[in-house]
Structure 1
Amino acid sequence: MNYLEYYELSQEPFSNAPVSRFYYSSAQHAQALLRLTHAVSGMKGLAVLVGDIGAGKTTLARRMLDALPEEEYEAALLVIIHSGITASWLLKRIALQLGVESPADEKLALLSQLYQRLVRIYEQGKKAVVLIDEAQMLATREIMEEFRGLLNLEVPERKLLSFVFFGLPEIEQNLKLDPPLAQRVALKYRLEPLSAEATGAYVRHRLRLAGAPRVPFTPGAVARIHAYTRGTPRLINTLCDNALFEGFVARARELDEGFVDRVARDLGIDLPASDARPPEPPARLDLAEIDRYLESLK
């Protein structure tokens, strides 16, 4: 028996792989998707979504890609995995993603191929969109200038290509490497951590989709999960997955806040100072001990 069987789960509920089935549409995720979709629907050029590590940017990027109707969009997702990429590599990769066959090595020839492909997409009544995940790795002025040039590809009625950047807040500094490009950001949205209420809903949502007949975490445990993770989805997944495994090892059907505390401690996840529990007050009314206790609370 493994922990999935022990808790009557059909699959891992808290995998950190971006599984679209487990996508949780919080209020702010829904707002982000609405705004980004509005930007690409209007072919506004460049939209940017920023969020801290583990905030769910990759999951949202994949969700957006899946949500764009194929009959309306020629859409692609490009994940940047290395900061050392060149502008020429990027240009060729975008061309491939949008359906350019045998991209040329020479830049002007490649731009001509890409322009012709974008015109065909436009004539088909579709909109060309490229989503760029981990966009903070695009950290050179040359690359920023390349994006500006691509956004200049247009017909009299509208632009031929839209981009959506997903990445860490450093994106904003990278954009400033080419001020004209920074001025072309049509929409910017920041993905904040989940609230305490949304964290609880997120945990229940993933357990339900994994087939759980009940929630093994007590309300107090869920509150502690939020306190430790600050509402960061990736950390929530890590803490919950480990808690379920340790619960299985301990044969615990119910996981309370003390259990979450132990698992978080083993993982090296600390509480913010404001959420840490204060030491117990002294049992005896000794003035010196009371003074020391009060001093410990400062």
Structure 2
Amino acid sequence: MERDGLTACATSFIQRLQLHPRIFSQFQRVMKDYSTDKLNAADLVSELDTLFQFHPDFLTGYKIFLPPHLQPTLPSPPQSPNKKIVLKPFIEFMNKVQKRFANERGVILEYLETIRKLTQAKLCNKEAYDAIMIVLGKENQDLIDEFKFLLFGRNGIRNDKKKEDKKNSMEDEMFELDMNLTRRKTAEDTAKELMYSLQQHEDQQININIYFSAVSLGYIRKIYKEEGSSIITRLRDDPTSVLPKILKKLESEEKVLIKKWRDIHEKKNNPCKLRSIV
């Protein structure tokens, strides 16, 4: 009697699954790989959980086909904590992916795995989009563009454009920081060279223009802001007393520049953090 019940459940499951030809085809291939020992039991469970993740009834139904000793340890159907993700458009899009990549099961499984992580908030939208770009490849730009629209929508694409603009702005800012770090280092090296020269020849007359370039003097003037002009004047008049103060200021400025550079670099390379500041 129990066996008849299992047979009826299995028959019902197959009949329902046949209403989704592409999923049914994938199911047949997975079961064939399992029956020919290409997949072990754990791999079978993993592949079917991924294949049926958008169909909770199938997630329950396929367990009928598994060895009894595996069934108590099967994971529950995944729950999606990300309430903002509407799955239906992504399922419909999956059909297009399946049609395009009918003979490449790995692509389909990668797509399903990416959507699973997205719905479970393990990936942010930008990370999911980047992953799908790699999975589908540049030769399938039409699918990539459609997925981008599904993921971001019109407003989201505009926001994505804002993110790109923000990235470009960050690159400009990082370039400027790199330039300032270089100018700072040049000014510091020159100041140390001049101090050494003064220590060796205490009574010598110094023309700071011979040591400092106009760029280095301009940088020193800049970091002192409103006091910049008076610092340069004092440097010309009494370099021995002013140079230690300038060197200390340059060392302090290095810490500020490095912190700014690291902060921008982190935001630029962290798509989720970048999203939060747009």
| Larger strand fraction of residues | 1
TM range (shorter): under 0.3
Which has more radius of gyration? 2
TM-score relative to the length of structure 2: 0.23
TM-score relative to the length of structure 1: 0.22
